[in-house]
Chains A and B, each alone.
Chain A
Amino acid sequence: NAGVTQTPKFQVLKTGQSMTLQCAQDMNHNSMYWYRQDPGMGLRLIYYSASEGTTDKGEVPNGYNVSRLNKREFSLRLESAAPSQTSVYFCASSEKPTDYNEQFFGPGTRLTVL
């Protein structure tokens, strides 16, 4: 099993450009999450999907949209990138909707917005 995979690994954007970060898991997990990691701030939840067909905002959703394409895939879209969105983005999944279950993380996407 590959676990949680993310593409791309690295990306550089100019301000105003758009892009989609892809995430897939092969563990048949119901719940998926997008986090951003910034120095000194730990991981902050952007959006999550408790189950296929549902998505909800996390702590820092502004400037992002998500799509739970199917049970395996959960994408994060930046419609108009801003320098403040320079960060490392992690996708994660868990068997059940967060809370009491371990989350498994992908390798991350390092995004730079110029």
Chain B
Amino acid sequence: AQSVSQHNHHVILSEAASLELGCNYSYGGTVNLFWYVQYPGQHLQLLLKYFSGDPLVKGIKGFEAEFIKSKFSFNLRKPSVQWSDTAEYFCAVVGGFQKLVFGTGTRLLVSP
């Protein structure tokens, strides 16, 4: 069965700092990968997704993620965070005919 690990549960950064959130998955076949964001009090929104092609995926609000197949990773990055990036971030993966599986989430707090 597929699973997703997000090792950073809480991250605190100052504005303008660079961000990298880790995501590792376990599934040996072809996968599709997602990052969702949940701003305080809001529902989940898609940040970016990888289906195929260029392993460096660019999403909304300056976020990007790199799919490294050999490392089973799909880390989320942003060069310079803003206070408005304070949110919870979820990595999700689906492979084969199984259902979307979410990681446990990373809470990001950006201090002004």
Q: Which residues of A contact B (CB under 8 A)?
A: 4, 35, 40-45, 48, 58, 90, 92, 98-100, 102-103, 105-108
B 76-98 to A, binary, CB cutoff 8 A, 1 in contact else 0 = 00000000000000100010011
The CA of A105 and the CA of B60, in the complex, are separated in Å by 17
B45-94: which have CB < 8 Å to A?
45-46, 49, 51, 90, 94
Per a CB cutoff under 8 Å, which of B45, B51, B90 touches A100?
B51
Q: Which residue of A lies closest to B100 (CB)?
A: A98
Q: Are B42 and A107 in contact (CB under 8 A)?
A: yes
Q: Are A106 and B32 in contact (CB under 8 A)?
A: no
> Chain B binding site: helix, strand, loop or mixed by DSSP?
loop
Total B residues in contact with A, Cβ cutoff 8 Å: 23
Is residue B7 within 8 Å, beta carbon to beta carbon, of the partner chain?
no
Q: Are A99 and B97 in contact (CB under 8 A)?
A: yes
Contacts of B102 in A (CB 8 A): 35, 42-44
Q: Are A105 and B49 in contact (CB under 8 A)?
A: no
Is residue B25 within 8 Å, beta carbon to beta carbon, of the partner chain?
no
Contacts of B103 in A (CB 8 A): 42
Q: Are A42 and B43 in contact (CB under 8 A)?
A: no
Some 11 contacts from A to B, beta carbons below 8 A apart, are: A40-B9, A45-B99, A45-B100, A90-B44, A98-B94, A98-B99, A99-B97, A99-B98, A99-B100, A102-B34, A108-B43
Closest Cβ–Cβ distance, residue B60 to chain A (whole Å): 13
Q: Which residue of A lies closest to B1 (CB)?
A: A59
Q: Are B105 and A102 in contact (CB under 8 A)?
A: no
Given the interface pairs A90-B43, A105-B43, the reply to whether A42 lies near B99 with Cβ below 8 Å is no
The CA of A102 and the CA of B44, in the complex, are separated in Å by 11
Per a CB cutoff under 8 Å, which of B32, B90, B105 touches A99?
B32
Contacts of B90 in A (CB 8 A): 42-43
Contacts of A98 in B (CB 8 A): 94, 99-100
Apart from A42-B105, A105-B36, 5 more pairs, CB < 8 Å: A41-B104, A42-B102, A45-B99, A102-B46, A107-B43
Closest Cβ–Cβ distance, residue B53 to chain A (whole Å): 14
